[in-house]
Structure 1
Amino acid sequence: MRTSRDGSGRAGRGLLLTAVLLGSGLLGPGLPGPAVALDATARIPVPPAGAYRNAREAVRTGVRDYNAGDKEGAARALEYAAGQGHALALWKLGRMYAEGDGVPHDDLKAFEFFSKIADENADDGPDSTNATVVASAFTALGRYFLDGIKGSYVQPNVERAYDMFNYAATYFGDPNAQYNLARLYLDGTGVTQDPRQAARWFNLAAEKGHPAAQALLGQLLMNGQGVPVQRARGLAWLTLARDAAEGPKDQWIVGLQEQALAATSERDRADAQAQVDGFYRRSATARAR
């Protein structure tokens, strides 16, 4: 079991889908390569030749159709662009299949779309046009590797999950990846349990406005887990997380904030509110730049 990985290495082209197929014994002599697996045409009709002038036009059409509620039309247009390797189209289709949004839910198909993004854009820098999409694809792949995909060649592989999260968190600074990496350290999943490392990664994601990271960082600060006890700061992060909470899925954040509120003094609460106000001021200033 590892204690850490520095994450400074670059992920090479063709790393992801090829590696998992080889590891599963599904890619061998006479068998189709990864590109063949990327085939969403079975349930989405391929648009007729000449329907779009180029991939960019197809993406614009797909986004327009999606926003208008025509998700089947959106999928057709995005499929055309994805077939030409357009990263945003691949990402959007991956999300649609992962969520069953306008297309049949299909985690394996989503995995293959995200894999294609990672394979073809792994050398993109954090300032590149596709950086956000590429980072999101690596993070999505990490989540799939954590649990695997039932009935498919994608088996649970915590080490590969760590690699995906670590790459997106370290190289791209992606807050979702930073949060997922922190959870691995907090729970001791695939790495030596290390609350201090967890707090570090939660803090990076929290500063970028990630509500779940803010809540768990707040809890660590309240309990002194991996960090010194700092009740005011812990309550501040939990308050920010509660402000961003959305519906029943975030009820756990509300519960943690209420517990913290009851466990702090009046002075801590006033100090926490001042920190919350300061966070919002800094965020507003950053947006105005």
Structure 2
Amino acid sequence: MAALVAIVCVGACSRALAFDDKVFDDKTGVKPQSSPWAVFQFGFSAYKSGHKDQAVEAYKYAAENGQIGATWKLARMYAEGDGVARDDYEAYKFFSEIADQDVEPGSPEESYVSDALVALGDYLKTGIPGTPVVADEVRAQEYFMRAAANYRNPTAQYEMGKMFLKGEGGVKKSIKQAGRWLQLAAEKGHAGAQATLGNLLFQSGKVVRGLTMMTVALARATPVDQSWIRGMQEEAFAVAGEADRRTAISLADDIIAKGANE
């Protein structure tokens, strides 16, 4: 997704002033018959310069005229309350529009669809209070599976791993299937998957490798995930032998220094 945004930025930022008077008027908004792609680029430029009200109007025009990237930006803005009042149901509707697109794996729009599928899965795990979107683990699993299998999204692969681990979302509990999905996500550097897979390995008797993976995951995790990963890692370290702990720490330090995945 960062690559897609960077591509847009190069085009938008270099020609922002030119687009300003061609596609947008401060009083009337987006000019009729404007190019959707040009309006999308203008919206990105307006967003980056802090004019998020103009960005929203530009994105809506571009989205209504087929720009998936604009629809994704709107979804993210509503989901995060970024420049607009947070509205998860509005975000859900925009993400649904993206998920309905027939986008082939490897296409330029792949990342938008992949991210939208994961977002929809997250919403459906708990539902959105006060809206028609109710908790539905089976539908959530279907969105995660589509993102995991078709687009190789590591977050979706991690979610599938957890579902197989617990037997949730309409799938039968399977440690083997859980390990397969967690391994795929871990290979892409997903800290949560690395920690969960590491704990599975530790519990199965592969002590050093499990401790190593959990230690690497803790070092790379975001602040949101560090708490539960640290608890898991410390619990495992507490029952491991001294020699295994030392070996795991040494291996983890080497992996982290090289920037590799375990």
Alpha carbons 1:233, 1:275 under 8 Å: kept: no
Q: Deviations over 1:131-177 (max 9, x none)?
A: 11111111111122222222222222222111111111011111011
1:71–1:238: structure 2 CA closer, same or farther, 3 Å change rule?
farther
Equivalent-residue separation in structure 1 for 2:192 and 2:27 (angstroms): 39
Over the residues paired in the alignment, what is the CA RMSD in angstroms?
2.6
1:177 — aligned with what? 156
Alpha carbons 1:94, 1:109 under 8 Å: kept: yes
1:16 — aligned with what? none
1:73–1:194: structure 2 CA closer, same or farther, 3 Å change rule?
same
In proportion to residue count, which structure has more helix? 2
Alpha carbons 2:99, 2:113 under 8 Å: kept: yes
2:99 — aligned with what? 118
Partner SS, residue 152 of structure 2: coil
Equivalent-residue separation in structure 2 for 1:154 and 1:276 (angstroms): 45
Equivalent-residue separation in structure 1 for 2:181 and 2:215 (angstroms): 19
1:242–1:249: structure 2 CA closer, same or farther, 3 Å change rule?
closer
2:254 — aligned with what? 277
2:188 corresponds to which of 208, 223, 227: 208
- Give 5+ residue unaligned stretches, structure 1: 1-44, 285-289
Q: Deviations over 1:55-78 (max 9, x none)?
A: 222232332333333333322222
Equivalent-residue separation in structure 2 for 1:69 and 1:80 (angstroms): 19
Aligned length: 234
Alpha carbons 1:143, 1:161 under 8 Å: kept: yes
Runs (4 or more) in structure 1 with deviation over 6 Å come to: none
Alpha carbons 2:117, 2:144 under 8 Å: kept: yes
Deviation at 1:271, TM superposition (A): 4.7
What aligned pairs does 1:77-116 form with structure 2 within 5 A after superposition? 77-116=58-97
Deviation at 1:95, TM superposition (A): 1.4
Equivalent-residue separation in structure 2 for 1:208 and 1:175 (angstroms): 7
Deviation at 1:279, TM superposition (A): 7.0
2:235 — aligned with what? 259
Deviation at 1:249, TM superposition (A): 4.9
Partner SS, residue 143 of structure 2: helix
Equivalent-residue separation in structure 1 for 2:57 and 2:206 (angstroms): 52
2:48 — aligned with what? 67
Equivalent-residue separation in structure 1 for 2:28 and 2:94 (angstroms): 19
Equivalent-residue separation in structure 1 for 2:226 and 2:30 (angstroms): 46
- TM-score with structure 1 setting the length: 0.72
Partner SS, residue 171 of structure 1: helix
Query: Taking CA–CA contacts closer than 8 Å with sequence separation of 6 or more, which of the two structures ends up with the larger relative contact order?
Result: 1
What aligned pairs does 1:121-140 form with structure 2 within 5 A after superposition? 122=102, 124-140=103-119
1:199 maps to 2:198: no
1:232 corresponds to which of 208, 233, 242: 208
Amino acid at match of 1:207: E
Alpha carbons 1:233, 1:272 under 8 Å: kept: no
1:150 corresponds to which of 129, 132, 145: 129
Amino acid at match of 1:258: E
